[in-house]
Amino acid sequence: YGDHRDLHSFPTRRSSDLYREIMQGLDATTAYLAQAIESVGCFEILSKPGTVPLVCFRLAPGTVGDAKAGEKGQGYTVFDISDHLRARGWIVPAYTLAPNAQDIAVLRVVVRENFSRDMADLLADDLRHTVRLLEAHGPVHSGAGATPARTRPRIKAAAPVRHERKGHKTAHGVC
């Protein structure tokens, strides 16, 4: 004790092994999340599995929500979905792609080490609920002719809201 050589007598894991283990866990959670999002039925996954721990997806062409689908539905966008999810505590950014693909708008979820399969299920349930709400009521835009905030339908969580300890963020996580 007290001798620094004693520290070297304990077996230690190499940092590359630990990194590999963490990345394998992230890949498994990312694949699970992609499958859960795809099960909602109106999204197309654009990200490649096994590359980076994120799921990039868009409204599948021709679905009810696809603003280009015309008479099939009221047409809403990934931006509407992102707004509704933010009201539920999720941070799921929506944006258009680079200049040569600016007609493609996507949502992105970054899977972090603390993002569990349970959270993936909650997010998929909230996505499902949001899509149903948008299909029933259409998008709520902030421009001219928009529905005032007090008359908008309230978005309810697919699961009950969990209250965080004081001093902790109330968002489900940065996605």
User: What residues are paired with 76 via a beta bridge?
Assistant: 66
User: What local confidence, expressed as pLDDT, does residue 17 receive?
Assistant: 84
Q: Residue 123, Cα to own-chain centre: how many angstroms?
A: 6
Q: How far apart are CA 41 and CA 97, in angstroms?
A: 22
Kindly state the percentage of the chain with pLDDT values over 90. Answer: 51
pLDDT in tens, 20-76: 899 999 999 999 999 999 999 999 999 998 899 999 999 998 876 655 544 444 578
User: What local confidence, expressed as pLDDT, does residue 172 receive?
Assistant: 54
Q: Which residues contact 91 (CB under 8 A, 6 or more apart)?
A: 85, 171, 172, 173, 174, 175
User: What local confidence, expressed as pLDDT, does residue 145 receive?
Assistant: 39
Give the pair of three-digit tokens for residue 74: 């009221």
pLDDT confidence band for 15 (50 / 70 / 90): confident
Q: If you average pLDDT over every residue of the chain, what do you get? A: 78
Residue 19, phi then psi, degrees to nearest 5: -60, -45
User: What local confidence, expressed as pLDDT, does residue 12 receive?
Assistant: 60
pLDDT in tens, 125-142: 999 999 999 988 888 654
pLDDT confidence band for 149 (50 / 70 / 90): very low
Identify the residue with better confidence: 33 or 144: 33
Identify the residue with better confidence: 149 or 109: 109
